[in-house]
Structures are given as C-alpha cells and as structure tokens.
Amino acid sequence: MAKLVILLAILAGFWCWWSYQQRLPDDKRRQFLWKSGFWSVLAVSVYLVLTGRMHWVGAGFAALIPLLKTLFTLGARALPLVRILSRFKATPSQFRTQSLVVTINFATRQIDGEILSGDFAGKQLSELAAEQLRELAERFKSADRESYVLLQAYLLRSGSSSYQSSEDYKKPSSLSELSNEEAYKVLGLQSNASKEEIIKAHKRLMQRLHPDRGGSDYLAAKINAAKDKLV
C-alpha cells in the first residue's frame, strides 16, 4: 500500500512538473529543465549514498555538474572571440625578388632577409655590417633594380643607418610577375585561403606597411599586386 501511495505521489509530481514546464517560454524552459535534471541527479545520488549503493564521492561529482555546465557555457561564449582574435594573429609576410627574400614577422616585429646570389649568397641581411650592406646596395642598384628597392625597404623598416633617403629610393617601373605561391606568401596566407581572407589580409598589411607607417611604396605595390593576382 505504501509503495502505491509513493508511486501515485511520484506520478502526480511528474504531472505538475510537466504542466509547469510546458507553460514556460523557450529560454526559461531550457533553464528549468537543466535545474530539474541537476536536482534529480543529485537527489538520486544522495539516495544511493544513504542506502549504501554509492560512495559519497559519486554524490560530490554530481554536485559539480553545475560548475561543469558553467565552464562549458563560458567556453562556448568565448569561442567566437577566440576565432576573431585568431584572424589577427601575425603571420610572416615574404617578399621575393631575383636576388633577395625579405620576411617580415609581425608577431616579433622583426624583419630579415636572405641573399640569394652574389658574394653574400646564403647570408642573412642582419649578419652584414653597414659597409657590406652599402656594397650590396650598390651592386643591386646597377644589376637588379627591384632587389635594390626591396633592400632599401628592409633598411628603412629595420631602422638601419645604411638606409639611403635619396631620390634613388623609388619603386621600379615594373614589378616582377608574382606566382600564386609568392602572392600567398606576400599576404602571409595558406594556399587554400578564401577570397574573404585574402581581402582581409591585404587590408591588414596595407595598414601595417603603408609608407606613412614605416613601410614603403614598393612593399605597398607588392601587396596590391598579390591581392590582384589572387582575387
């Protein structure tokens, strides 16, 4: 008889619970269902502990469910922010000419380049003394105009005393044709980047490497050429 009364009480309670949650708006219903589930699990856990069917540690884990839910909710809310911030991560941009490869790493704010030909082939620009940089610039000036302009852009960006702010510092009349691979490297993108990512990378680089912000006309022209190549 007692079991029947308990069963009827449970059924009546369930009917009241069901009727109440049906009348709630969707947002409040989800919150109510979550709380109901938590209290149900906690009540069952306490019952099992009191009857010796569960260790008290199990009830402790049940009590931690709201904390786990809160952490999950906070993580879900933070995910869009993480995605947005990931778009602004600094990816190195690489500018290549016949005789020089210059890489700008915005994460470390460092710029360096590798010399591809001549007496200094295989060396980094940062390894050369001021006199050697001037010698390299003179060689590029007569034999490889675009490499000369890229070297001057490196010297300007790195704040080197070897930078020549003379009228010689002009972008070449024509830029070397970019391949798709080189264009992606200029923009600091993977080869599977979308059109939207290309446009955003172009805008970001133009803001960072604009002549008025420590960049140069040559770098800006290269960035524009890379975008035109890919879009």
Closest CA to 93 of 213, 167, 224, 201: 201
Between these two residues, 18 and 65, which has the higher pLDDT value? 18
Residue 73 above 90 pLDDT?
Answer: no
Q: Which stretch of DSSP H or E encloses residue 25?
A: none
Structure-token pair, residue 199? 């446009």
Q: Which residue has the higher pLDDT, 140 or 83?
A: 140
What percentage of the chain has pLDDT greater than the value 90? 15
- Residue pair 130/160 in contact (Cβ under 8 Å)? The answer is yes
Burial of 29 (0-12, 13-18, 19+ CB in 10 A): middle
Q: Is the pLDDT of residue 112 over 90?
A: yes
pLDDT attached to residue 121: 92
Closest CA to 186 of 88, 107, 98, 102: 102
Confidence of residue 90 (pLDDT cuts 50, 70, 90): low
What is the distance between the terminal CA atoms of the chain, rounded to a whole angstrom? 79
Q: Secondary structure of the chain: what % helix, strand, coil (to 5)?
A: 65, 5, 30
Contact indicator for 229, 183 with CB cutoff of 8 Å: yes
Tell me which residue has tokens 């919150």: 31
Question: Is 138 exposed, middle or buried, given 0-12, 13-18 or 19+ CB atoms closer than 10 A?
Answer: exposed
Q: Is the pLDDT of residue 85 over 50?
A: no
Per-residue pLDDT at 110: 87
Q: What DSSP element (H or E) covers 224?
A: helix 217-230
C-beta separation of 151 from 136 below 8 A:
yes
- Distance from C-alpha of 222 to C-alpha of 137, rounded to nearest angstrom: 20
> Rounded mean pLDDT of the chain?
75
Place of tokens 């069901």: 18
> For the chain, how big is the Rg over CA atoms in Å?
33
Total Cβ atoms within 10 A of residue 95 = 25
pLDDT at 23: 72
How far is Cα 79 from Cα 187, in angstroms, rounded to an integer? 25
Q: How confident is the model at residue 209 (pLDDT cuts 50, 70, 90)?
A: confident
